[in-house]
Amino acid sequence: MKIGYIRTSTDDQSGAGQRDALRAAGCERIFHDKGVSGGAVSKPQLEHALQAASEGDALVVTRLDRLARSMKFLIEDVERIGGLGIDFVSLHEAIDTTTPGGRLFFHISAAFAEFKRDVIRQRMKEGRAAAKRAGRHDDHGRCADRRRPAPGDLSAAGG
């Protein structure tokens, strides 16, 4: 049996597009977490979906980011799902762990995403170190050279 899972970040989102895609993919039951962030650890409807699934069933999502926002949590969730004997399918990315190729593709994709995140983190660390050596302070991502003009100071605003 295919079981669909929908996650919407706000209560205002209906999830209708996800629901239509999951029905078209043959999902017999669909569970919907409304107003739940992708970074949230607690996803009650995901837990209900996994409880409703039996070994050999598949949990289907429309996109990977509907299951989890971070690659770390995505990998953990998919491994937990697999540990229950449940397969995982993401329609948009064409990932289907019911096949050996699908499992391989998922892990390769996850490895590349993890690598990309680590490279970005390393570049940010190097940039902060270079800024510190140059005497600029780290103001958490805001441009250190940008100056806010005082009210009425047109010269700082280019005027």
Catalytic residue among 9, 37, 70, 90: 9
Question: Is 9 assigned a catalytic role?
Answer: yes
Give the contacts of 63 (CB within 8 A, at least 6 positions apart).
90, 91, 92, 93
In angstroms, the CA 59 to CA 91 distance is 11
Nearest in space to 102 (alpha carbons), one of 73, 45, 64: 64
Reduced to 3 states (helix: H, G, I; strand: E, B; else coil), residue 138 is coil
d(CA 117, CA 123): 10
**Positions marked active-site:** 9
